[in-house]
Amino acid sequence: NGLIAEYDFEQSNENMIENNVNNYPNLTLNIKNPSAINWLPYGLDIIDNPVITTINQAKDICREIVENNEITVEAWIVPNNASQSGPARIITFSQNVSNRNFSLNQESDKYEVRLRTTKTDNNGLPSLFSSSNSAKDKLTHVVFTKNIMGELSIYINGSLDTKVNISGNFSNWDSTYSFGLADEFLNERLWLGKFYLVSLYNRALNPQEVLHNFNIKFKGYDFILEKPSNLTVAIENGTNVLVNWDDNSSNELGFIIERRANRIDSLFYVVDSLDFNVTSYIDSTLKYDSSYVYRVRAFNDSTFSEYSEEAIINDLLVSVKNNNIVNKFDLYQNYPNPFNPTTNLKFSLTQKSEVELKIFNSIGEAVEIIYDNKILPEGIHFEIFNAKNLSSGVYFYRLIAKPLDGSPVIMKINKATLIK
């Protein structure tokens, strides 16, 4: 009821964002600089200045909202960081940086609302700020409403954050202004982050309706994973590392722990995978270096999250560096499994060997060769298999190790399931 515009960012045209409300076709948005955005599954990532604005004047918005003297602006977004200022424009109905009907902005770690009435100035000032630490680099439901009684409210993740009373009405709104996302139209107040839903109503949603919208999320929510945050590392018993992080998703199947030696020539590799809702891990496999860098990401059947921020551990004891003895040949189950499109392969060698590692389809055809008689040392080894060019189905990965000392050849086969 009262919905004027809804943008869910399912890509249908790389230069356009369609309004899902059929009664208002003039509110289709044009992306003037497509190279400044990345389309995501069910979302839009702003990486530079895209200039996203209505092709025509947004007179429908002006007419509907001025007539009712009420408004709701709703967004599901992920800010790139909590330090954007200007304030950075997330959603705006304006002419330039000084003349607007309304805007939802980010000022450092707060959200800001500017709303023109007959009792505020042309810039919508004085403005209303959310409480500090509201604008975090995580998926957030932000709503502001103004009802006919003059109550201007900001809601964060379904709950009322702050409220003021403002006087006046919207009769001084200018219908020639443009409606747009991520910046003013003269490239002066860029906001960087991800959009997943933007909605605009000609009425003020009540608190129960705001909470309802938060609870039902948006199309594609189950396919989106937030990156873990607040990654910390600490030394345990001199040689082990305790890794902790915050789980910011409710739909992950688990987490992947990666590390690298704290050297310029070192690359990240997978240490282990963990179940859902696990937020702590003890790494007891460190042998060679006294300093390491860690990162974590979540996964589910559909996707991976972005990596957490990296964390560095120093001053590990390395007196056990010659203790890297593997007493079992094994090809471990891949993880995640099922996967799409990448999965991690892990195996252990009891001695230096000539290794063959291949992927086969269900009729026995080799579809990927990871190792073809490559000499590898004793120890635990990791590889990432990318099946982006393969179709969904069951695959088999086979490891053959030929010890260089002439010991018997060893072979093991495991099954992996690709779901796209």
Task: For 208-225, write each residue's pLDDT tens digit.
Answer: 999 999 999 998 887 788
Task: For 33-61, write each residue's pLDDT tens digit.
Answer: 999 999 987 899 999 999 999 987 789 99
pLDDT of 12 reads: 63
pLDDT of 371 reads: 93
Over residues 250-274, mean pLDDT: 88
In the predicted structure, residue 196 carries a pLDDT above the cut 90: yes
pLDDT of 269 reads: 85
Highest mean pLDDT among 37-46, 113-122, 315-324, 373-382: 113-122
In the predicted structure, residue 324 carries a pLDDT above the cut 60: no
Distance of CA 180 to the CA centre of its chain: 22
Residue 323 banded pLDDT, cuts 50, 70, 90: very low
Share the mean pLDDT of the chain: 90
Tokens (6 digits) for 306: 């972005």
Over residues 229-252, mean pLDDT: 89
In the predicted structure, residue 325 carries a pLDDT above the cut 70: no
In the predicted structure, residue 66 carries a pLDDT above the cut 60: yes
Could you tell me if 312 and 363 are in contact, meaning their C-beta atoms sit under 8 angstroms apart? no
Tokens (6 digits) for 248: 């910011």
Q: Over pLDDT 70: what percentage of the chain?
A: 97
In the predicted structure, residue 204 carries a pLDDT above the cut 80: yes
Residue 300 banded pLDDT, cuts 50, 70, 90: confident
Q: How, if at all, do strands 71-79 and 240-246 pair?
A: unpaired
pLDDT of 320 reads: 36
Task: For 111-168, write each residue's pLDDT tens digit.
Answer: 999 999 999 999 999 999 999 999 998 899 999 999 999 999 999 999 999 999 999 9
Lowest mean pLDDT among 8-12, 263-267, 292-296, 314-318: 314-318
In the predicted structure, residue 411 carries a pLDDT above the cut 90: yes
In the predicted structure, residue 319 carries a pLDDT above the cut 60: no
Lowest mean pLDDT among 96-110, 203-217, 283-297: 283-297
Residue 318 banded pLDDT, cuts 50, 70, 90: low
pLDDT of 267 reads: 87
